[in-house]
């Protein structure tokens, strides 16, 4: 299965010149824990970083900095892992595991932001897969009973 089939299609995003407070308000308004930071190029939103609620707490609130005077670009994580819509789910999980990353922006063939996938999205997908796998044995037993009658 492709990652584009399970990602959240509407990722909350902002430019790197947004204030940290503005990004936090976006997170609150959209009930999310991250904002994908994008650069605009010819009407295309290219992901360049990510800012999480944890980044704000650790980098701004804990040291007592002013979130209205800091820009997202000042504290965002710019070592960004992205996944293409056509990337395999299991390969994406492996890449996330190796990097210790819980959220991955998803891009289309042109490199534009098309969504985001989180560890929670992947856990939900895997739980459904495991549920389907658990149904094999009862079907097999019923099939054998019918075949032997």
pLDDT in tens, 19-55: 999 999 999 999 999 999 999 988 899 999 999 999 9
Judge whether 142 lies within some domain: no
- Helix 136-148, helix 119-134: angle, nearest 10: 20
Q: Which residue has the higher pLDDT, 85 or 129?
A: 85
Q: What is the pLDDT of residue 141?
A: 66
Say how far apart CA 103 and CA 121 lie, in whole Å.
9
Domain that holds residue 42: 3-118
- Say which CATH number the domain at 37 has: 3.10.580.10
35 close to 12: Cβ distance less than 8 angstroms: yes
Say how far apart CA 84 and CA 126 lie, in whole Å.
19
Say how far apart CA 60 and CA 66 lie, in whole Å.
7
**Taken in order 68, 74, 79, 85, is the CA torsion positive or negative?**
positive
**pTM above 0.75?**
yes
Judge whether 68 lies within some domain: yes
Judge whether 143 lies within some domain: no
Say how far apart CA 10 and CA 148 lie, in whole Å.
52
Q: How many structural domains is the chain composed of?
A: 1
Judge whether 108 lies within some domain: yes
Cα end-to-end distance, the chain, whole Å: 38
Judge whether 84 lies within some domain: yes
Judge whether 148 lies within some domain: no
Judge whether 127 lies within some domain: no
Judge whether 135 lies within some domain: no
97 close to 122: Cβ distance less than 8 angstroms: no
pLDDT in tens, 103-147: 999 999 999 999 999 999 999 999 988 888 887 776 666 666 677
Q: In this model, does residue 76 exceed pLDDT 80?
A: yes
């Amino acid at each position: 299965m492709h990652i584009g089939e399970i990602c959240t299609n509407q990722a909350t995003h902002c430019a790197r010149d947004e204030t940290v407070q503005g990004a936090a308000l976006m997170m609150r308004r959209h009930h999310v824990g991250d904002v994908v930071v994008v650069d605009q190029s010819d009407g295309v939103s290219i992901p360049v970083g990510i800012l999480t609620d944890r980044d704000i707490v650790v980098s701004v609130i804990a040291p007592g900095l002013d979130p209205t005077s800091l820009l997202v670009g000042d504290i965002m994580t710019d070592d960004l892992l992205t996944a293409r819509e056509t990337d395999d789910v299991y390969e994406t999980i492996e890449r996330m595991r190796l990097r210790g990353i819980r959220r991955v922006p998803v891009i289309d063939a042109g490199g534009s932001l098309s969504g985001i996938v989180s560890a929670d999205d992947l856990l939900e997908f895997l739980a459904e897969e495991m549920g389907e796998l658990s149904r094999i044995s009862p079907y097999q037993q019923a099939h054998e009973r019918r075949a032997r009658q």
